[in-house]
């Protein structure tokens, strides 16, 4: 009897404790919650939050999630208006979905309250363009925080060794991959690969494929908005990716950034596309076996000049946030020149022109001029609010073609059919 | 005999490997050939997980949620199990109710995930420990009823009848006479429920949004970044996550087997 | 236990009449709220779609299911996963149970050690095996390489061909102990007399096993098969961590597909329709098992 009573009382006590702790969460006024990406970009924001607290006393909770989960969480919070997050860090392809459904706060009125009549002209134009809905011309719903735009990495030492010209076209890339893979061995005696890429289904495969797709002259949608991935150019592009796959480490069908990075750093692959956020790692003796051997250039051309894909991280304020004023203050502070410079020093490419040209930063990151060029001529992925579903589906078929399950023609045809289905459903 | 030793090795080697990863520096983690025994241990990942990051918070949340929901499920479920075992209800209701309660255990979690999220949202309970406690109680209830029914059925009613003759009430008889006899069953059931709550992932993933309410599994799964997977931190957290369950389960080993067998054999 | 011995005699007074209902009420309330209501809600939204003119009752989601290749593939994968994993778990679990049913030294040590995999959070199991199966840095390939095996194409969870087998292997590793435990308990509940009788009759070991052990073990076998099948069909956690359905959709399971439809594409109605199909299937299978059990 005593045992049961004590058990019941203990349980009740715990329940009260829990209830009390959940209640105090909503009490305090001066706090913000940010949903951020787990990784270098989110870490920089976390540091900024810590600095801000020292500066103003406002406590900021930065909650980090892996890439796919971050989207899920943000979508869920926005749709259900739970108001859990005051600021959202989002990858620019997600932006159309969030902005179109009127989930985000229009930043212009808030900027005006702070005496500004628009986003700082120092921001790179392309970065601000993705923060507007409709693209480039519409209202401003976010500010750009991380200025990622693709670069092409290659081993200049190996290119010199085999008398290869720096890769200017994708054909160059294929030829060089073949040459290097056949003749060279990896530093640890193992096999050397000419190229390495991400082809994990979903965001990874699509992000690495789009530059090839565009260079071959293909487009995802025609002028009426119908999907055209299975155009002859599109199929040729996918065929090329599969051909390039012969000179890529096996298993690349599930590679994401970590595997690509590992191969480049270990010196087992000679070329790759990717985001500049790892340039610092290449110079880090603890991680890199290829210090001083990597060169960066803009993306190779095909039928059309090479265009980098833009992949900026933006920060927006949900409509359901209870602390919009506090949020905009933090946002403006975090994206000002001084703070963004700090973030850059931590490895995040900035979104301000002046910082790309800042002598201190250029010394730390010699690729900045190339990055700025890449950013200014970059191109975003299609700005459709159904991008996530389309990317998911498209990525599956890219993966299947690369794993040999489907021929490039079949993969593109099926992908096109599925994308059509998605758009039809949405049209209802 | 040799087969058993092999099976034991297969069962334990992966766990051992994870523990070594939690104690190795990053260079050692990826060394080729893999270092099974020869490495200098470091506690940096444990420090990173529990001091720098919020894993201590996740640990506390997991513990609170598991204990409270198990306690609730035990109380509610045991009472119901007792009633369904001892009382004959009209229209065979007791049989039908037992069967219905059991069938809810068959639900795939994903079926109820969305409605429960929306329910919690409307109750403004999303991202609170309370939401998890409520959901987990619902999870564990059918299991508690099932298990305790088996244990109660083992106890002959003469003991309670004797207590009644002595002037006790029905409930008093339950508490004073029957419960002490089924303590092993209660213990086994409690351990099972604690393990289920501690390990649960899907609902914790859906119902929590910030560090304040996240449980250990969600925290561990969240350390996958685009550029690198923080193996050290995840392994450290995983190693710590294992400890309470292993301690509990190994201490309750005997009762677990009995509990499973009663549940399984009697059905 | 015969019904009459278990139950109390007729109620003595009014209060006693109400007592069982009072005792069951809290449990019923909780389950109605947390199981029945969500189920009804789920069925409701699976039959609704939002159109420009408001919410409409329609079978549209189910029609879409019929032509959804991804759904079909995910179902196929789930069933293959369940069948193969179940077969191996049962085989290994039975062998282990038979081995440990004898009096050997260190028996409780073995039992304790073998229990470990099933106690781990599935998330942790996912991490452990993701580490081990990493083609370049994992211990499995590392050890194989050291033994001289060419592991270039053994990319486990990264290989569309090997991925499904790899995740099945992980499930077998984690849940064989559960099967083993239940079967062991079942074996230990079998009395000695049938064995003694068989010995007197001069049966061989195989005959004893087939005609004495197996029939008496049948309830335990069916229960464990039922429980494992239910759990296998709704697998989510480990796949989420190990492969998230990849590579190239090779390890996509139905729960994962439903999760994605609900939380990534925000198509709650479609997710609900798929959940309903999954629920119907699990119900049918459990009914079959229970019928087999009753025989």
Domain ranges of chain A: 29-148+311-376, 151-310+382-427
Instruction: Enumerate the residues of chain C whose CB falls inside 8 A of the CB of residue A202.
Output: 246
Task: Give the percent of chain B with pLDDT over 70.
Answer: 93
Chain B stretch 150-179, residues whose beta carbon is closer than 8 A to a beta carbon of chain C: 153-154, 156-157, 160-161, 170-171
**C142 has a chain A CB within 8 A of its CB:** no
> Per-residue pLDDT for A388 more than 80?
yes
Residues of C in contact with A200 (CB under 8 A): 246-247
Q: Do domains A29-148+311-376 and A151-310+382-427 have the same CATH topology?
A: yes
For residue C203, being part of any structural domain is answered with yes
All domains in chain B, ordered by first residue: 60-266 (1.10.3720.10)
Please check whether residue B144 is in contact with residue B77, taking contact to mean a CB–CB distance below 8 angstroms. Answer: yes
CB C27 within 8 A of CB B101: yes
Q: Which chains touch B (3 or more CB pairs under 8 A)?
A: A, C
Q: What is the pLDDT of residues A163-210, one digit of tens each?
A: 888 899 999 999 999 999 888 887 777 788 999 999 888 888 999 999
To the question of domain A29-148+311-376 being in CATH 3.40.630.30, the answer is: no
Q: Would the CB atoms of A188 and B32 count as touching at under 8 Å?
A: yes
pTM for the structure as a whole: 0.87
Share of chain A above pLDDT 70, in %: 92
Amino acid C11: pLDDT = 61
**Does C4 fall in a domain?**
no
CATH of domain A151-310+382-427: 3.40.190.10
Distance from CA of B57 to the nearest CA of C (A): 18
The residue count of chain C comes to 295
Tell me how many domains chain C contains: 1
Q: What is the pLDDT of residue C6?
A: 57
Residues in chain A: 428
pLDDT bracket for residue C259 (50, 70, 90): very high
A246 shares contact with chain C (CB less than 8 Å):
no
**Chain C CB within 8 Å of residue B246 CB:** yes
| Residue closest to C177 by CA, chosen among C253, C250, C96 | C96
Q: Does A32 touch chain C if contact means CB atoms closer than 8 Å?
A: no
Tokens of B82: 């007792």
Residues 173-232 of C with CB under 8 A from A: none
- Predicted confidence at residue A19, as pLDDT, reads 55
Both tokens assigned to B260: 């499973």
Range with the lowest mean pLDDT among A87-101, B25-39, B54-68, B236-250?
B25-39
Q: pLDDT tens digits, residue range A184-194?
A: 887 777 788 99
A258/B32 touch (CB, cutoff 8 Å), yes or no: no
Task: Count CB atoms within 10 A of the CB of residue B109.
Answer: 20
Q: How far is CA A16 from CA A21, B64, B134, in A?
A: 9, 11, 14
Torsion of CA A211, A212, A213, A217, to 10 degrees: 100
Residues 90-129 of B with CB under 8 A from C: 94, 97, 101, 103-104, 106-116, 118-119
Contacts of A402 (CB under 8 A, 6+ apart): A199, A205, A241, A242, A245, A252, A253, C248
* Nearest-by-Cβ selection for B234 from C127, C146, C276: C127
Instruction: Report the CATH number at residue C193.
Output: 1.10.3720.10
Q: Could you tell me which chains touch chain A, where touching means 3 or more CB pairs under 8 A?
A: B, C
d(CA C253, CA C278): 11
Q: How confident is the model at residue B109, as a pLDDT?
A: 83
Average pLDDT over residues A118-126: 92
Residue C261 lies in a domain: yes
Place of tokens 């399950």: A405
Q: Any chain A CB within 8 A of the CB of C155?
A: yes
Domain range spanning residue C241?
60-294
pLDDT tens track for C151-164: 777 888 888 888 99
pLDDT digits (tens, 9 = 90+) for C182-231: 888 888 878 888 888 887 887 787 777 887 888 888 888 888 888 889 88
* Least Cα separation, residue B195 to chain C (angstroms): 7
Q: Would residue C107 count as lying in a domain?
A: yes
- Average pLDDT over all residues of chain A: 87
pLDDT over 60 at B267, yes or no: no
> Which chain C residue has its CA at the smallest distance from B194's CA?
C119
Cα–Cα distance for residue pair C11/A342, rounded to 1 Å = 78
Interface test mutation site (partner B, options A5, A19, A21, max chain B beta carbons within 10 A): A21
Chain A residues lying within 8 Å of C136, measured CB to CB:
259, 262
pLDDT per residue as tens digits for the range C25-64: 888 899 889 988 998 998 998 898 877 777 888 888 999 9
**Is position C52 within any domain?**
no
Tell whether C146 is within 8 A of chain A (Cβ): no
B27–A19 C-beta distance less than 8 A: no
pLDDT one-digit tens code per residue, B187-202: 888 888 998 899 999 9
**Residues in chain A closer than 8 A to B54 (CB atoms):** none
Which sign, positive or negative, has the C-alpha torsion A323, B130, C258, C179?
Answer: positive
The answer, yes or no, to whether residue C14 has pLDDT greater than 80, is: no
The residue of chain B nearest to residue C227, with distances taken between CA atoms, is B106
What is the SS3 string spanning C76-128? HHHHHHHHHHHHHHHHHHHHHHHHHCCCCCCHHHHHHHHHHHHHCCHHHHHHH
Give the integer Cα–Cα distance in Å for A306 and C262. Answer: 37
pLDDT of residue C58: 85
pLDDT digits (tens, 9 = 90+) for A297-351: 889 999 999 889 999 999 999 999 999 999 999 999 999 999 999 999 988 899 9
Report how many helices (DSSP H) and strands (DSSP E) chain A contains, helices first. Answer: 19, 10
Provide the CA A313 distance to its chain's centre, in angstroms.
Answer: 6
Question: C50 - beta bridge partners?
Answer: C55
**Residue C17 falls within a domain, yes or no?**
no
Contact yes or no for A72 and C263 at CB 8 A: yes
Q: Is residue C15 part of a domain?
A: no
How far is it, in rounded angstroms, from Cα C143 to Cα C140? 5
C153 touches chain A (CB under 8 A): yes
């Amino acid at each position: 009897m005593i045992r049961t009573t004590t058990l019941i009382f203990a349980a009740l006590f715990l329940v009260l404790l829990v209830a009390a702790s959940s209640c105090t969460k909503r009490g305090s006024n001066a706090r913000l919650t940010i949903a951020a990406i787990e990784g270098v970009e989110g870490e920089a924001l976390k540091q900024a939050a810590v600095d801000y607290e020292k500066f103003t006393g406002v406590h900021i909770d930065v909650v980090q999630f892996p890439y796919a989960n971050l989207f899920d969480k943000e979508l869920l919070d926005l749709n259900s208006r739970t108001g859990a997050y005051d600021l959202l860090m989002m990858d620019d392809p997600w932006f159309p979905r969030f902005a179109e459904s009127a989930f985000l706060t229009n930043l212009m009125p808030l900027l005006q309250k702070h005496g500004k009549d628009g986003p700082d002209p120092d921001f790179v134009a392309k970065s601000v363009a993705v923060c507007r809905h409709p693209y480039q011309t519409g209202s401003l719903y976010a500010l750009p925080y991380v200025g990622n735009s693709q670069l092409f990495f290659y081993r200049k030492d190996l290119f010199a060794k085999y008398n290869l010209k720096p890769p200017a076209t994708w054909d160059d890339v294929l030829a060089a991959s073949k040459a290097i893979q056949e003749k060279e061995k990896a530093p640890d005696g193992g096999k050397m690969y000419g190229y390495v890429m991400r082809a994990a289904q979903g965001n990874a495969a699509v992000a690495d494929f789009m530059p090839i797709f565009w260079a071959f002259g293909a487009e995802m949608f025609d002028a009426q908005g119908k999907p055209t991935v299975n155009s002859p150019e599109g199929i040729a592009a996918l065929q090329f990716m599969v051909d390039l796959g012969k000179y890529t480490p096996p298993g690349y069908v599930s590679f994401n950034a970590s595997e690509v990075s590992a191969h480049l750093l270990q010196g087992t692959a000679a070329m790759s596309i990717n985001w500049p956020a790892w340039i610092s790692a290449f110079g880090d003796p603890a991680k890199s076996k290829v210090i001083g051997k990597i060169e960066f250039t803009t993306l190779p051309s095909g039928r059309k000049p090479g265009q980098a894909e833009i992949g900026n991280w933006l920060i927006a304020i949900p409509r359901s946030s209870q602390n919009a004023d506090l949020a905009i203050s933090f946002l403006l502070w975090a994206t000002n020149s001084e703070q963004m410079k700090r973030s850059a020093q931590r490895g995040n490419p900035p979104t301000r022109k002046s910082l790309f040209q800042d002598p201190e930063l250029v010394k730390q990151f010699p690729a900045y001029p190339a990055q700025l060029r890449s950013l200014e001529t970059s191109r975003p992925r299609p700005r459709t609010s159904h991008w996530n579903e389309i990317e998911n589906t498209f990525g599956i078929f890219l993966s299947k073609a690369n794993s040999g399950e489907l021929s490039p023609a079949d993969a593109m045809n099926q992908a096109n059919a599925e994308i059509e289905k998605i758009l039809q459903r949405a049209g209802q | 005999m040799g087969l058993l030793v092999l099976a034991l090795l297969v069962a334990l080697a992966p766990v051992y490997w994870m523990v070594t990863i939690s104690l190795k520096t990053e260079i050692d983690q990826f060394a080729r050939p893999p270092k099974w025994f020869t490495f200098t241990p470091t506690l940096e990942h444990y420090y990173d997980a529990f001091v720098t990051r919020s894993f201590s918070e996740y640990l506390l949340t997991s513990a609170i949620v598991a204990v409270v929901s198990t306690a609730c499920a035990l109380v509610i479920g045991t009472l119901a199990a007792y009633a369904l075992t001892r009382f004959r209800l009209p229209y065979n209701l007791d049989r039908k109710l037992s069967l219905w309660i059991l069938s809810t255990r068959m639900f795939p979690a994903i079926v109820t995930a969305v409605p429960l999220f929306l329910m919690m949202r409307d109750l403004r309970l999303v991202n609170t420990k309370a939401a998890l406690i409520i959901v987990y109680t619902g999870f564990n209830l059918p299991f508690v009823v099932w298990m305790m029914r088996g244990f109660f059925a083992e106890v002959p009613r003469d003991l309670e009848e004797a207590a009644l003759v002595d002037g006790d009430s029905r409930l008093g008889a339950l508490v004073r006479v029957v419960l002490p006899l089924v303590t092993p069953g209660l213990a086994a059931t409690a351990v099972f429920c604690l393990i289920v709550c501690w390990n649960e992932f899907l609902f914790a993933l859906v119902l929590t949004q910030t560090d304040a309410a996240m449980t250990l599994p969600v925290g561990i799964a969240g350390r996958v970044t685009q550029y690198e997977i923080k193996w050290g931190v995840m392994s450290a957290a995983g190693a710590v996550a294992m400890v309470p369950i292993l301690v509990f389960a190994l201490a309750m080993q005997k009762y677990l087997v009995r509990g499973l067998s009663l549940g399984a054999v009697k059905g | 236990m015969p019904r009459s011995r278990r139950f109390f005699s007729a109620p003595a007074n009014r209060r006693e009449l109400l007592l069982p209902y009072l005792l069951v009420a809290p449990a019923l309330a909780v389950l109605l709220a947390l199981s029945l209501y969500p189920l009804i809600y789920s069925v409701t939204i699976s039959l609704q779609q939002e159109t420009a003119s408001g919410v409409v009752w329609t079978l549209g989601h189910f029609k879409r299911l019929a032509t959804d290749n991804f759904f079909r593939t995910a179902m196929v994968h789930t069933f293959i996963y369940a069948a193969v994993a179940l077969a191996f778990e049962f085989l290994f679990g039975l062998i282990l149970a038979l081995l440990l049913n004898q009096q050997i030294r260190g028996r409780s040590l073995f039992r304790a050690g073998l229990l470990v995999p099933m106690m781990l959070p599935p998330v942790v199991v996912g991490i452990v095996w993701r580490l081990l199966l990493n083609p370049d840095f994992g211990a499995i390939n590392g050890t194989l390489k050291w033994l001289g095996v060419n592991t270039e194409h053994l990319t486990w969870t990264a290989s569309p061909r090997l991925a499904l087998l790899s995740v099945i292997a992980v499930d077998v590793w984690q849940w064989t102990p559960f099967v083993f435990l239940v079967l062991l308990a079942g074996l230990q509940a079998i009395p000695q007399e049938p064995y003694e009788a068989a010995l007197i009759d001069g049966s061989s070991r195989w005959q004893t096993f087939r005609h004495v052990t197996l029939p008496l073990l049948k309830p335990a076998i069916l229960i464990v098969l039922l429980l494992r099948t239910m759990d296998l069909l709704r697998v989510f956690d480990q796949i989420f961590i190990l492969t998230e359905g990849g590579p190239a959709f090779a390890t996509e399971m139905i729960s994962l597909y439903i999760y994605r439809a609900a939380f990534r594409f925000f198509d709650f109605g479609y997710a609900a329709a798929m959940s309903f199909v999954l629920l119907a299937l699990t119900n049918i299978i459990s009914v079959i098992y229970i019928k087999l059990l009753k025989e």
